[in-house]
């Protein structure tokens, strides 16, 4: 056997980065669809006549199956048992199907005036939500899969940089959604137009993932030939879950993740509306300032990921990132700070926080969880994050807005919709950020006690 054959494919720089590029592209397409409805909120209220509570119901649907059917936990287990090829294709196909259902629901007139019996929910809201829920399963499981794929290819190499790049690339999808969603919707005078673009992108993402599968197969082969087959092939045991849950550091990082993302993802869902309602931005430009956030995080996740690889300080980076979140949300809370330049400056600072924490958090997990349990561990973290940050908090904010924050009526182009005061939701986001700081500190203390190495560099020196 020649030396070239004996070496695992993951030692090839080109192969490592190509695999990263492909899975990151599939994630980008998914993130576009995950966020494309946020800048459309004003248009949805005007055209489809949804209320904020209905919008919150729909937004929270993303996490329904993941949380209440435990799909993310099963997804993580399936990933550990069946591997990245099967799991990735399955989840990509689910994303396409879910988004197609959502597009149909917001485009058809056949659901007009229909209401789901017993639940008393508009049929259009319900069908769109079910589509979004199926899509949510796909995007979350492919997210777990991509993370494990990167952990496998980049073990001992630039793992934090690679995860940062993946998150950064995926967020280009969010940026595109926030920047283009409202203009496309306004141009076509249809909420469905930017969603249809999502169906097309997801189909391309699925094809890209099929290409990745060929590389994954080759990686398996070279690992086998070089005698480096990882522990992946060991069968999943139910005791793995018990083992993972017995690690206190795992709990701290999971809670920190849920709190941190609760103060970011639901905020992003409402940020375009906040810009209109508090900062007097025009409806068609609602997503322009929040759209800067993902753009800002693209280079920053790379810079901080690279820093973590080389210098370490993972727990400290998570604490600093959470602190920035508190400062920014507090600024958004103050009622008289309502000039759009304040929103712009605060959004840029938020970009630092939104890069610092993920750049350090995701590559920290393999420091205390063995590779063969990573799918299950990330599945559990994502499950908690879905429960709190992607379901509970968006729903709570929608409820709080409708119940406590309506101040009157706005009339745009002859169409009226409610006017909101966002102070109370922003107080909630600030408190979530504060709690994230507390759990960051607890994680740092636990790392000092147990020696996970969170403050050490990721890259083998």
**In the complex, which residues of this chain contact ligand L54SNA5H (CB under 6 A)?**
31, 34-35, 140, 143, 147, 163, 166-167, 170, 174, 261, 265, 358, 362, 382, 385
Q: How far is it, in rounded angstroms, from Cα 355 to Cα 317?
A: 10
| Residue 371 near residue 79 (C-beta atoms within 8 A) | no
Instruction: Quote the crossing angle between the two packed helices 84-107 and 192-225, to the nearest 10°.
Output: 180
H helices of 246-373, in order, are 248-262, 265-277, 292-311, 314-333, 340-364
Query: Minimum distance between the CB of residue 363 and ligand L54SNA5H, rounded to whole angstroms?
Result: 8
From CA 383, how far away is CA 173, in angstroms rounded?
A: 22
Residue whose CB is less far from ligand L54SNA5H, 143 or 185? 143
By the 8 A CB rule, do 294 and 38 touch? no
- Please say which residue, 124 or 385, places its beta carbon nearer to ligand L54SNA5H: 385
Distance in angstroms (rounded) separating the CA atoms of residues 433 and 208:
37
- Measured from the Cβ of residue 410, the count of other Cβ atoms closer than 10 Å reads 17
The CB-of-374 to ligand L54SNA5H minimum distance in angstroms stands at: 11
Q: Which residues contact 288 (CB under 8 A, 6 or more apart)?
A: 178, 179, 275, 281
- SS3 (DSSP) at 415: strand
DSSP 14: H
Paired residues of 406 in beta bridges = 420
Q: Tell me the closest approach of the beta carbon of residue 154 to ligand L54SNA5H, in angstroms.
A: 11
Residue 159 or 437: the one with the smaller Cβ distance to ligand L54SNA5H is 159
Q: CA 46 to CA 276: how far, in whole Å?
A: 14
Q: How far is the CB of 127 from ligand L54SNA5H (least distance, A)?
A: 21
Residue 118: CB minimum distance to ligand L54SNA5H, A: 30
> What is the nearest approach in angstroms of ligand L54SNA5H to the Cβ of residue 440?
16
Q: Which is nearer to ligand L54SNA5H, 236 or 261 (CB)?
A: 261
Q: Which two tokens stand for residue 7?
A: 């070496």
Separation between Cα atoms, residue 391 and residue 389, nearest integer Å: 6
Q: Which two tokens stand for residue 423?
A: 């102070």
How far is Cα of residue 400 from the mean position of the Cα atoms in its chain? 23
Shorter beta-carbon distance to ligand L54SNA5H: residue 66 or 124: 66
Least distance to ligand L54SNA5H, CB of residue 96, Å: 17
Min dist. Cβ of residue 385 to ligand L54SNA5H (A): 6
Which residue's CB is nearer to ligand L54SNA5H, number 355 or number 417?
A: 355
Residue 381 Cβ vs ligand L54SNA5H, minimum distance, rounded to whole Å: 8
CA dist 331 and 327 (Å) reads: 6
Q: How far is the CB of 386 from ligand L54SNA5H (least distance, A)?
A: 7
Mention every residue, 6+ apart, whose C-beta is less than 8 A from residue 147: 163, 166, 362, 374, 378
Cβ distance to ligand L54SNA5H smaller for residue 111 or 435? 435
Closest distance to ligand L54SNA5H from the beta carbon of 167 (Å):
5
Between 111 and 144, whose beta carbon lies closer to ligand L54SNA5H?
144
Q: Which of 430, 455, 23, 406 is nearest to 263 (CA)?
A: 430
Closest CB 357 distance from ligand L54SNA5H, rounded Å:
8
- Comparing CB distances to ligand L54SNA5H, the nearer of 111 and 160 is 160
Q: Which is nearer to ligand L54SNA5H, 381 or 405 (CB)?
A: 381
Q: What are the DSSP calls for 104-164, one per residue?
A: HHHH-STTTT-EETTTTEEHHHHHHHHHHHHHHHHHHHHHHHHHHHHHHHHTTSSHHHHHH
Chain center to CA of 459: 25
Closer of 126 and 298 to ligand L54SNA5H (Cβ): 298
d(CA 371, CA 189): 49
The residue (of 294 and 312) whose beta carbon lies closer to ligand L54SNA5H is 294
């Amino acid at each position: 056997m020649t030396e070239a054959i004996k070496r695992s494919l993951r030692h090839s720089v080109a192969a490592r980065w190509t695999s990263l590029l492909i899975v990151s592209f599939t994630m980008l397409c998914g993130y576009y669809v995950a966020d494309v409805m946020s800048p459309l909120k004003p248009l949805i209220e005007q055209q489809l006549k949804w209320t904020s509570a209905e919008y919150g119901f729909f937004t929270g649907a993303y996490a329904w199956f993941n949380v209440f059917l435990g799909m993310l936990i099963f997804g993580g287990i399936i990933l550990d048992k069946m591997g990245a090829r099967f799991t990735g294709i399955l989840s990509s196909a689910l994303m396409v199907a879910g988004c197609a259902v959502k597009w149909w629901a917001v485009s058809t007139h056949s659901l007009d005036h229909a209401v789901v019996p017993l639940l008393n929910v508009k049929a259009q809201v319900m069908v769109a939500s079910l589509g979004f829920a199926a899509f949510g399963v796909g995007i979350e499981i492919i997210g777990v899969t991509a993370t494990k794929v990167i952990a496998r290819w980049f073990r001992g190499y630039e793992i934090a940089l690679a995860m940062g790049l993946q998150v950064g690339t995926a967020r280009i999808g969010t940026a595109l959604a926030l920047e283009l969603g409202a203009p496309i919707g306004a141009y076509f005078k249809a909420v469905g137009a930017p969603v249809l673009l999502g169906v097309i992108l997801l189909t391309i993402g699925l094809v890209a993932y099929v290409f990745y599968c060929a590389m994954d197969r080759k990686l398996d082969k070279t690992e086998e030939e070089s005698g480096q087959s990882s522990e992946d092939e060991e069968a999943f045991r139910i005791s793995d879950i018990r083992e993972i849950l017995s690690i206190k550091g795992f709990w701290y990082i999971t809670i920190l993740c849920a709190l941190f993302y609760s103060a970011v993802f639901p905020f992003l869902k409402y940020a375009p509306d906040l810009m209109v309602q508090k900062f007097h931005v025009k409806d068609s430009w609602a997503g322009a300032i929040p759209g800067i956030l993902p753009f800002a995080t693209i280079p920053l996740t790379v810079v901080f990921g690279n820093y973590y690889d080389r210098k370490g300080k993972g727990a400290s980076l998570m604490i600093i990132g959470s602190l920035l979140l508190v400062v920014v949300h507090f600024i958004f809370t103050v009622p008289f700070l309502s000039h759009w330049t304040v929103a712009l400056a605060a959004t840029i600072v938020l970009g630092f926080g939104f890069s610092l924490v993920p750049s350090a958090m995701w590559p920290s997990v393999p420091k205390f969880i063995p590779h063969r349990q990573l799918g299950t561990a990330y599945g559990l973290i994502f499950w908690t994050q879905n429960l709190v940050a992607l379901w509970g908090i968006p729903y709570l904010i929608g409820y709080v807005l409708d119940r406590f924050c309506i101040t009157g009526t706005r009339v745009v182009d002859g169409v009226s919709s409610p006017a909101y005061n966002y102070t109370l939701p922003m107080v909630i986001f600030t408190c979530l950020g504060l709690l994230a700081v507390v759990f960051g500190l607890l994680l740092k203390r636990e790392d000092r006690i147990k020696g996970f190495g969170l403050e050490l560099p990721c890259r083998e020196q």
